[in-house]
Chain A
Amino acid sequence: SAVISQKPSRDICQRGTSLTIQCQVDSQVTMMFWYRQQPGQSLTLIATANQGSEATYESGFVIDKFPISRPNLTFSTLTVSNMSPEDSSIYLCSVVEGGAYNEQFFGPGTRLTVL
């Protein structure tokens, strides 16, 4: 199974600033996903990031707020821009290996607090 790391593991940021979260996978994967999880809540998909193409955003999430890069098959970044306290959440990346779309492997998450 894929091993995924995320940086930073946690951060405290000021309102109006931006934070870039990195996701590194130990194997080449076609599809990567970025989720947001409020404390005690379910996982909400932000976008799907495929290498070589624009990310696909879910309803309620826009590229200007959450720009995503996917420069190769093992790495992706998610930026949370112009942050507000409502962006305080855990951000998780996940990957699919092969065609097993029902089984996703998740990174450890980035716990973001916006003051």
Chain B
Amino acid sequence: GQSLEQPSEVTAVEGAIVQINCTYQTSGFYGLSWYQQHDGGAPTFLSYNALDGLEETGRFSSFLSRSDSYGYLLLQELQMKDSASYFCAVRDGVTGGGNKLTFGTGTQLKVEL
């Protein structure tokens, strides 16, 4: 089956940089996505990597290494509003007709003053 592992919790101070890692095991691979979810809110899409390397979107960047089955989300200039849960997700191209996402265990980010 598919599995995605993330650290359960990360704490950082406002203005700092934090990296949230994701390691995955899937039978196929069609991309790694990242989602943010605030308490009581819906998950919202942040970024997507289909190929190796870094994708940058404002303060957020996402990295993928397909050979290592590994990716990370990098958050820069942390703000209090970044306190949320972050999930990586893989589309493996096999299960669900290739259209479904499998979500990681989730990382709760706490930003402190």
Contact = CB atoms under 8 A, between A and B. Distances in A.
Interface residues of B, number: 24
Interface residues of A, number: 22
Contact of A42 (B42, B99, B106): B106
Interface string A78-115: 00000000000000101010000111111111000000
Nearest to A99: B99
B41 to A, nearest CB: 7
Main secondary structure of the interface of B (DSSP, over half): mixed
Contacts, number: 55
Contacts of A41: 106
B44 interface: yes
A104 B89 CA distance: 11
Contacts of A66: none
A101 B91 contact: yes
Interface in A2-31: 31
Nearest to A105: B45
Main secondary structure of the interface of A (DSSP, over half): strand
Contacts of B103: 42-44
Interface in B43-100: 43-45, 48, 50, 87, 89, 91, 96-100
B12 interface: no
Given A102-B33, A102-B101, A104-B101, A109 B42 contact: yes
Given A48-B100, A104-B45, 4 more contacts: A42-B105, A92-B43, A105-B45, A108-B41
